[in-house]
Each structure stands twice: as structure tokens, then as C-alpha cells.
Copies of this chain bind each other. A is one copy, B any other.
């Protein structure tokens, strides 16, 4: 029987994730997928995680099984603070909240900070689940231009100059190996972005799930680390990160670093959202980190993704007349544009017929999607599947 339910305006006719819509094709026999943002299952450190899990239930069963404090297990908070310090940011445990994936960190922030109708800037293109969260929360989303180096801070300065200072509430970005473009924002632009946040009085939400997956070039400090160097910028950066891409998404363990007034309110919000992130998963993560296993695994992981990325770039060479791509220095994605005015959405059914999947780039735009754009992830498939999948993609272009 169909009742006439009354939904909130945002949920009257919500559209689900365009990427998840592609999932139904994944189960077709023989399909090769460059579509998802899943890490490579073959790279999971199964034995390290099994050891950490066995230790958790052997040594600290009640940490695993009972409720934990909303901010997280102290043992994990300590490990995550050390990890942030190794990444160049002076973070203390009391600056952090363990979240159920970095996705939850953004949801908590929007609950606490986003007045419906407030203006939020995002990179153009940007991460679709952040865009969806912003739309459902009633944000006025504005796109900020990017190029191969990420946010174009000169263009942003011009865009902001045309607005009243203070009317942008926040800017959400993935400055290091962005999803979908793979771009890494250079140091000078990071500093410029922080100065713009000060001058125009907005907050910066720095989402950093991929930063540790660098396989070329030099590390660039996070916006959080740099915020101490720019006058007035301290307290303007909220940093979100996650173990999903570097360890295992199945833990659903992420974290937030936020100024005290914001963090304290996020904790109040989290009490009503899930009380605490799975303490069992937290305890496993804490043991894994305390054993030094992540630091030992990261170089191999980055090297594994470097090989996959290189293989993909090599396999794309024969398609250069159809597809222009930007080589990334880390992360999981290659971003490209079809030449000759080809629409990626028109290419997709031909690709599916050839049994290869990608994501048409329009899913990543808040406004005015570039219909020629496509995202290819090299993370999940093996090297042979990358070769074969790209040969199929080449045939789809013909």
C-alpha cells in the first residue's frame, strides 16, 4: 500500500550517486572497471590486519566490544596524532575526532556549520559525495575553476573580489591528488588559498584521503600544516582524512582535525549520529598503526599504484588522438577529455558493449559539466586488466 509520505524538500526526489548507478554493470561477466574509487583488494595487508585484529581481541577485548568515548579510543587518537605530526601538522589528540570514514567528518561539519542557503565553494570538478552532501544540506554551491595544478587561485581571487566578504561560508577541496582530477595543489597556491580564506573570512575544509599515496614528485605540506604560517589562517582549516585508501575501507575509520569550538560541536552532533565509531575497528587500526605497519606498508603501496598508473598512461598512448589525459603524481585517478567534441556519456554504452567501465566526468560538476570529460581509476584492476581494459576502450572510441 502506497502511503503519501511527506519528505524534507531535499529528499522529495533525491538522485542517488551516478557512480553507484554504474554498479549494476560491474557484475556482468568479464567486465573490466576503471569506474570505482575502490582501493586494490590485492594491496590489502591481510596478514598485518589479521595480527592487529587478533591482538585486539586477545589483549583488549573490552576496548573492542564496549562503547567508546565519542571522540574515539585514546589509543587510536594517539596514533593518529603522531601520524599527523609525521605529516608535518602539529596536532594533539584533543584536536581530533575519530569519524566513521572521512565522509562522516564532512556530514558532522555540515550539521554544525552549514546554515541552509549558505554559500560553499567547491573545486570544478569535485568529489560527488561531497557535492551530494552539500546539496542535501541546502547549500548554495559555487564552482571554483581548476587547471592541471588544481584550484586556480588567481581565478578564485577574482571570483571572490566580486562578492561581499563573509558571504562564502566555506570552501571544500581535495588539494592532494584530487578526486576526480588527480591534481596536487602547489605550495604557492596553497599559501594563496589560505590568504584568500583570511581576506574573505571563510573556512577551508581540506579532505585528504589520498595524500599518503604519492608516487612522483615532492611532498607538499597540507593546508592544515601551512595554516600556522599565514597570518590569521590558524583556526580556518578543518582537516579530514581516512584509513580507507591507505589501509582498508572496511574499517570505516577516518578522522577530523578541527578548532576547539567546531570540534566540540561535532562531538555533540556525533552523540546523536552514531555515539562512537566502531571501537572494535578503532582498536584494530590502533594496533596496526602502533606496530609501525602502516609506515612500513606505505612505500610498497605507493609503488604498486605508481606501476598501475604508469601502465594506464602507457595504454592510453595509442588513444592520444581521441583522449587527452593529465598524468597524476599520486592517488588513484586519471582525468581526461575526449577530443573532437565526443560526449563521454555517448561513449559509455559503447564501452559497456566492449566490457569496460569508466565514469563520465559530468558526475563531478556542480555546474556546467564538461561533457567530454572522463575519470579512469587505475587503482582496483590488475596490470593485465588495465592493458586489456584500455584496448577495449580504444575499440569503443573507434
Contact = CB atoms under 8 A, between A and B. Distances in A.
Contacts of A70: 20
Nearest to A170: B6
A61 B38 contact: no
Contacts of A383: none
Given A6-B115, A252-B278, A276-B252, A11 B268 contact: yes
A3 B236 CA distance: 8
A7 B265 contact: yes
Contacts of A114: 8
A67 B38 contact: yes
B65 A41 contact: yes
Nearest to A106: B272
Contacts of A107: 272-274
A130 to B, nearest CB: 8
Interface of A: 1-3, 5-9, 11, 14-17, 20, 23, 38-39, 41, 44, 46, 49-50, 53-54, 57, 61-70, 100-101, 103-104, 106-107, 111-115, 129, 132-133, 136, 169, 203, 232, 234-236, 244, 248-252, 259, 261-262, 265, 267-269, 271-281, 284
A232 B67 CA distance: 39
A163 B138 CA distance: 30
Contacts of A112: 7-8, 11
A103 to B, nearest CB: 5
A239 to B, nearest CB: 16
Contact of A11 (B53, B111, B169, B234): B111
Contact of A261 (B5, B17, B69, B129): B5
A375 to B, nearest CB: 17
Which label, helix, strand, loop or mixed, suits the secondary structure of the A interface?
Answer: helix
A174 to B, nearest CB: 16
Contact of A66 (B54, B111, B133, B250): B250
B41 A274 contact: no
20 contacts: A3-B236, A3-B259, A5-B113, A7-B112, A11-B112, A16-B267, A20-B271, A39-B66, A65-B249, A65-B250, A67-B244, A100-B277, A101-B274, A101-B275, A107-B274, A133-B272, A136-B268, A250-B278, A252-B277, A273-B273
Given A1-B235, A3-B236, A9-B115, 5 more contacts: A1-B232, A1-B234, A14-B269, A103-B273, A104-B273
A70 to B, nearest CB: 8
Contacts of A235: 1-3
